[in-house]
Amino acid sequence: MPQPSPLLDFPGSIAAPEGHPEYGVPWHWGDPFAEQRTATRGAVVIDRSHREILAVQGDERLSWLHLVISQHVTQLPENSGTEALVLDSHGRVDAHFVLAHVDGTVWIDSDPGAEATSALPKGGKQTLLQYLEAMKFWAKVEIRDASDELALLTVLGPDTARILSTVDVDLPDEPYAAVALPGGGFARRMPWPTRSSVDLAVPRAELADWWRLLTDAGARPAGSWAFDALRVESLRPRLGIDTDDRTIPHEVNWIGSAAHVAKGCYRGQETVSKVHNVGRPPRRMVLLHLDGSPEIAPETGDPVVLGERTVGRVGSVIQHHELGPIALALVKRSVPTDQELLAGGEDRVVQAVVDPDSVRAEGPAPGREAAARLRG
C-alpha cells in the first residue's frame, strides 16, 4: 500500500481521521463546500495517491486479461481505457478497478487494499496482485506493483481542459481516452464524478511538483471529501462501502461500464448473463436525502428501515454543498420511492427519502425535489 502523501505536510492540508477510507491523502483544504463548488464551476485538483497501481505487460496482456476480468478487452486499443471487475463464482463483486492501455502496458488502479476471493481453503482472501499472479499460468504476461512508481491526481471541473493545456497535456474528449505523459505515467479521461474529469498518474517522486504545476495553472486544491460528494451525487459506488459480500454488478450500475454481458469465459459470467437476460436483481442502489436537522448521521453498514422492516443498508454518507447530507444505499427493489425511510443504527437514526431520479435512470444528476420534500 502506498505511503501517506507528502501533500499532507503542505499548509492548509487537513488529513482524514485514522481508519477513514481516505486516510493517507488530504481530506480537505479548509473549506470542503467551497472546494465542491469550484469543482462544478471552475477546476480543482485532488490527491488520490493512496490508490494502488499495477502494471500488466507482455504479448498476451489483453487476451489474458480478457479471461480473468469481467470486461471485454481483447481489442482494447492503445490510448484507451475502461473499468472492470473481478467476480466470484456466484457473480458477486470481489474487486473493481480502472484500466488504461498506454505504450504496451495495461495500467490498473484500484482503491487501497483491493482484494479478490481466492481458491484458498475456507474462502481466503488475497490481494488483487496475488490473484492476478495466481491466474497467470503459462500466459506471456508480466505483472508488477507500480504503486511506488506512480501516484494519481484527479483534475475536475469545466476548466479542466484549460488547466491541462497549461501543463502540455493534450487528451481527446472521449471517455477513458488515455495518453502517455512525457516524463512517465499517463493521463486518462473519466466520465465521472463529473463530465470534466481527468486522472493523471504521475511519477510518485514528482507528485508535489505536479501539484504545484496544476495549482499554479489555476486548479484549486481540493480534498477527497469533494471527490466523494460528487461521486455520490453521480451514483458511482465504491467497493466495500456501497457494496457488501452479496452485491452483484446489476445492483450498483456496473453492467456495461465495468461488466460485459455478452462475453463468456470469466468467473461469474453465468450470473451476470442470467440476471441481465432473465430477471431483475434483488436490490438496487439509490440516493438518499437525509434529514440534516439533528446533528447525527448514519454510518456505512447501518440499516435502512421501512416501517418495522429492514429493507437495505447504508453505503457512502457525505455532506454535499447543495444537496446537504446524502447517502448511497442498497435497498430491496420493492421499496417504494415515495415513502419515508429511516437510516442509521443505535443513536444515529435519521429520516430519509429516496431521490426518484436515482431510480429512474443510471448515473443521473439527481434533482432537488426529494430534498425539498424531506426538509419541508
**pLDDT tens by residue, 50-77:** 999 999 999 999 999 999 999 999 999 9
Considering the chain, tell me which residue range(s) the CATH 3.30.70.1400 domain(s) occupy.
Answer: 53-145
Q: What is the rounded CA–CA span in Å between residue 321 and residue 319?
A: 7
Q: What is the rounded CA–CA span in Å between residue 153 and residue 31?
A: 19
Q: What is the rounded CA–CA span in Å between residue 69 and residue 348?
A: 39
Considering the chain, tell me which residue range(s) the CATH 3.30.1360.120 domain(s) occupy.
Answer: 6-51+148-234
Alpha-carbon distances, residue 73 vs 24, 56, 61, 69 (angstroms) = 32, 13, 10, 9
pLDDT for 263: 84
Contact 275, 248 (CB under 8 A): yes
| C-alpha distance across the termini of the chain, in Å | 46
Considering the chain, tell me which residue range(s) the CATH 2.40.30.110 domain(s) occupy.
Answer: 282-360
pLDDT for 2: 77
Three cell numbers written together for 55: 502494471
pLDDT tens over the chain, length 376 residues: 678 999 999 999 999 988 889 999 999 999 999 999 999 999 999 999 999 999 999 999 999 999 999 999 999 999 999 999 999 989 999 999 999 999 999 999 999 877 776 555 555 678 999 999 999 989 999 999 999 999 999 999 999 999 999 999 999 999 999 999 988 999 999 999 998 999 999 999 999 999 999 999 999 999 999 999 999 999 999 999 999 999 999 999 999 999 998 887 788 888 888 888 887 899 999 999 999 888 899 999 999 999 999 999 999 999 999 999 999 999 999 999 899 999 999 999 999 999 999 985 443 344 445 445 455 5
What sign has the CA pseudo-torsion 194, 4, 130, 203? positive
pLDDT for 366: 42
Any bridge partners for residue 111, and if so which?
none
pLDDT for 268: 87
Contact 64, 265 (CB under 8 A): no
Q: What is the rounded CA–CA span in Å between residue 114 and residue 350?
A: 31
pLDDT for 371: 47
Location of C-alpha cell 501539484? 211
Question: Is 282-360 assigned to CATH 1.10.3720.10?
Answer: no
The residues, any chain, with a CB within 8 Å of residue 157's CB and separated by 6 or more, are: 38, 39, 40, 41, 42, 43, 44, 194, 196, 219
The residues, any chain, with a CB within 8 Å of residue 53's CB and separated by 6 or more, are: 107, 108, 109, 145, 146, 147, 149, 150, 152, 201
Helices (H), 264-320: 269-277
Q: What is the DSSP string of 119-150?
A: SSGGG-EEEHHHHHHHT-TT-S-EEEE-TTTE
pLDDT for 363: 38
Contacts 24+ apart (CB under 8 A), 329-332: 329/285, 329/286, 329/287, 329/288, 329/304, 330/242, 330/243, 330/244, 330/247, 330/251, 330/252, 330/283, 330/284, 330/285, 331/283, 331/284, 331/286, 331/304, 332/282, 332/283
Q: Are strands 350-354 and 341-343 parallel, antiparallel or unpaired?
A: antiparallel
Span 6-51+148-234: which CATH code? 3.30.1360.120
Superfamily (CATH) of domain 53-145: Aminomethyltransferase beta-barrel domains (3.30.70.1400)
**SS3 assignment, position 82:** strand
pLDDT for 368: 46
Residues 182-212: tens digit of each pLDDT: 889 999 999 999 989 999 999 999 999 999 9
